[in-house]
Structure 1
Amino acid sequence: MPPRLNIPPVTRILLSVLVLQSLLSAAIRYRQWSENSNIVIPYLNLVPSLSIWYPWTFLTTTLVESNIFTLAIAGFTIFNGGRYLERAWSSAEFAKFLVIVALIPNFLTFLALDILFSMTGAEHWALTPIAGTIPFQISFLIAFCQLVPAHTVTLFKGILSMRVPRFPLIYLGLVMVLAMTPLLTGASFFLAVFGFVTSWTYLRFYKTVFPDLDSSQPAALRGDASESFAFPEFFPGPAKPFVATVSNQIFDLLVAVKICTPFSPADVSAARGDNFHLQGRNHGGSNRAEAERRRALALKALDQRLHAATANSRTQPPPATTGPTVQTQPQPNTQTAMTSKPGPMLGETSYVPDQDHNEKGGA
């Protein structure tokens, strides 16, 4: 009997809606197709000039793919990334994150295409469909960068190896290139850029952070003030000073209009991993290295427990011949959790602490 896939509820719903809406879109396009027609489906896809009467498309259009290539990538991304993040954050937090990174990028892209149509008068901007899981894909990458910022991911048996914070920019470049082909629409690059900014802003300033049991941070802490998750960290070294200057100015503007709130010294201290028994021992850059090390170990421990729970759900213990039946659940010890490899979604990862302790985090 093949093993049963253990998919969390929100991820399962996402995959089901993605497949159903994409198949419905393909069936409608097939029935209406002709050589001279430009088919738009305003009640499924968000279309600037038509979908204002179908407001639900601002959310549902994210789970509509127009071809088998993008559908396969979307399914792979949601199955692996969604399953991992939902287990790490809880279903409620994951669902909230999805709604934010779907609605805001779609709305901003809608405004951008309307502005382009008003400036140029080109009708194709008003009829460009805004659809696809691109906001989810770039947002999952940003979340992954927050969870394991100091890791290097090795793919294809060592052929490709790169630091995790480099993934979002590479993804943006790929989307920009593919947007010039029939695979993606002209709205795709806008979706990727707005998805990048929206997901980073939410995770940086607004998402509720679960308390670290090994520190004294309060349970109501929000955002991530760590230097490793600062906006310039996504860019190559030579570009970081310029990006930091621009991002700090934008941040000051957002603070002035009360959209963002500056981090308090307590927030920064919690992000660095400072606590009562570390304050007298760690200084300067060592706090950052210690925080990154503890973040990596905590992630490995989480992966170990998730895989142990999955294995237990797939295996039923044999019944005892005498006496009552007792099911025991093995408790992974600390050493096993620290030395175990992450799950399949992460691929092969290695922890490499950042050696540049003098870098500034920016906004």
Structure 2
Amino acid sequence: MPPRINLPPVTRILLIALTLQSVLSAAIRYRQWSADSEIVIPYLNLIPQLSLIYPWTFLTTTLVESNVFTYGIAGFTIYYGGRYLERAWSSRELAKFLLVVSLVPNALCFATLILFFSFTRNEHWTLTTIAGTIPLQISFLVAFSQLVPAHTVTLFRGLLSLRVPRFPLLYIGLVTLLALTPILTAASLFLAVYGFLTSWTYLRFYKTVFPDLDSSNQPQSLRGDSSDTFAFHEFFPAPAKPFVAAFGSAVFDALVAVRVCAPFAADGYHHHQQGQQQQEHRGVPGGARAEAERRRALALKALDQRLQAATAHSGGSRGGQASSTPPPATVSQPAPAATGPTVQTQPAPVTAQTAMSSQPGQMLGETSYNPDHEHEKGGA
């Protein structure tokens, strides 16, 4: 029997929908192909001038690829990225995330093309097809930047090392180059930029996060991620970070002033000094296990100290009694050692970063962990 592919439900549905819709699109294009005109499918893809009567295209167009090359990249991204995030977050949270990063970038791209048409009066903008998994792909890269911000991906056998937060901007640059070729449409660049901004905004301010077991005085619903490692300027190279940080702070203060965004709490779960540690524990699979192992190690250490103190006290008491009472004639046996192993012989607790690096090849290739995100190898 062939090995069974174990895929979470949402990832499985995405792959099935991507395959069916892409095959259907290819069949329609093949049947209606003409050398004199460009074929558009307004009831499957989102086309500003034709798709308003088909509102479902704002969602379905995300899972339609027009050629084998983009379909292969989309399938690879969804298979590995969707499976990883679904197991890290839950199926419900991944479904909500995918809904947001599909609808919002498509709607913003639709509005942008209409705006360009109103300025230029060129119908090419309103007949441009908005389709493809580009918003999902860059959103997955942003999500990985949140979960493993300190990891470095080594490519080409060490010739190039890049931190995970560098990949979204590199992806946008790659999409920009491919948009100049027939592989991608002119709307692809807008989809990449809007997907990047939408996914970061959702994860930064709105996504529901797992509760912190160490804190008892926290709100019932926790949303967003205020850690410094997930700030907007962390996606940019070091020379541009001060300018991007200043601009981002000004925009955030303006949004808080008009009550579009809520200011982050100064303490509790979103404390900036503990942002990176909390992010690793709640976002990375194995974080709960690492916390349990840490507590178990502390408990074993306390128990070992108590056993040693009790043994020493018992030995002192027997020594005092021996001074007044003659020892028995039988040969004394050595005192039994503590039944449990001491804390020095316990296995090292599994940390969140160890859990992430134990299977690096499944998701990010060859990775390494370097918490000092200010010093980057290879200009990353």
1:226 aligns with 227
Are residues 225 and 297 of structure 1, via their aligned partners in 2, closer, same or farther at CA, if it must alter by over 3 Å?
A: closer
TM-superposed CA distance for 1:337, in Å, is 6.2
Are residues 207 and 50 of structure 1, via their aligned partners in 2, closer, same or farther at CA, if it must alter by over 3 Å?
A: same
TM-score by length of 1: 0.81
Are residues 241 and 268 of structure 1, via their aligned partners in 2, closer, same or farther at CA, if it must alter by over 3 Å?
A: farther
Structure 1 unpaired stretches of 5+: 274-287, 306-332, 358-363
TM-superposed CA distance for 1:224, in Å, is 0.3
Of 340-349 and 139-148, more deviation after overlay is shown by 340-349
Which runs of structure 2 are paired with 1:1-363 in the superposition (5 Å)?
1-215=1-215, 217-266=218-267, 269-270=270-271, 272-273=273-274, 291=277, 295=280, 299=284, 301=286, 335=349, 339=354, 341-343=358-360, 344-354=362-372, 356=374
Task: Supply the distance in 2 between the matched residues of 1:304 and 1:160 (Cα, whole angstroms).
Answer: 33
Look up the SS of the partner of 1:200 in the other structure: helix
Task: Supply the distance in 2 between the matched residues of 1:77 and 1:303 (Cα, whole angstroms).
Answer: 27
Task: Supply the distance in 2 between the matched residues of 1:154 and 1:296 (Cα, whole angstroms).
Answer: 24
2:302 aligns with none
CA contact (8 A) 1:142 1:168 kept: yes
2:293 aligns with none
The one-letter amino acid paired with 2:111 is L
CA contact (8 A) 1:11 1:82 kept: yes
Across the two proteins, how many residue pairs are aligned to each other? 314
Deviation string for 1:148-190 (max 9, x for gaps)?
Answer: 1111112354343211110000000000110010000000000
Task: Supply the distance in 1 between the matched residues of 2:240 and 2:351 (Cα, whole angstroms).
Answer: 37
Task: Supply the distance in 2 between the matched residues of 1:50 and 1:356 (Cα, whole angstroms).
Answer: 49
Deviation string for 1:180-213 (max 9, x for gaps)?
Answer: 1000000000000000000000000000110233
Are residues 87 and 298 of structure 1, via their aligned partners in 2, closer, same or farther at CA, if it must alter by over 3 Å?
A: closer
Deviation string for 1:251-275 (max 9, x for gaps)?
Answer: 12222332211101025754533xx
CA contact (8 A) 2:150 2:164 kept: yes
The one-letter amino acid paired with 1:353 is P
Look up the SS of the partner of 1:53 in the other structure: coil
TM-superposed CA distance for 1:302, in Å, is 5.7
Task: Supply the distance in 2 between the matched residues of 1:303 and 1:95 (Cα, whole angstroms).
Answer: 23
Task: Supply the distance in 1 between the matched residues of 2:214 and 2:70 (Cα, whole angstroms).
Answer: 42
The structure number with the bigger radius of gyration is 2
Structure 2 unpaired stretches of 5+: 291-346, 376-380
The one-letter amino acid paired with 1:122 is N
CA contact (8 A) 2:22 2:65 kept: yes
Task: Supply the distance in 1 between the matched residues of 2:158 and 2:258 (Cα, whole angstroms).
Answer: 47
CA contact (8 A) 1:25 1:64 kept: yes
The one-letter amino acid paired with 1:19 is T
TM-superposed CA distance for 1:299, in Å, is 2.7
1:277 aligns with none
TM-score by length of 2: 0.77
| Identical positions, percent | 65
Are residues 120 and 209 of structure 1, via their aligned partners in 2, closer, same or farther at CA, if it must alter by over 3 Å?
A: same
CA contact (8 A) 1:342 1:349 kept: no
Are residues 35 and 47 of structure 1, via their aligned partners in 2, closer, same or farther at CA, if it must alter by over 3 Å?
A: same
Task: Supply the distance in 2 between the matched residues of 1:337 and 1:31 (Cα, whole angstroms).
Answer: 56
CA-atom RMSD, angstroms?
2.4
Deviation string for 1:259-309 (max 9, x for gaps)?
Answer: 211101025754533xxxxxxxxxxxxxx67x27x827973636999xxxx
Deviation string for 1:212-237 (max 9, x for gaps)?
Answer: 33455555211000011000110011
Look up the SS of the partner of 1:154 in the other structure: strand
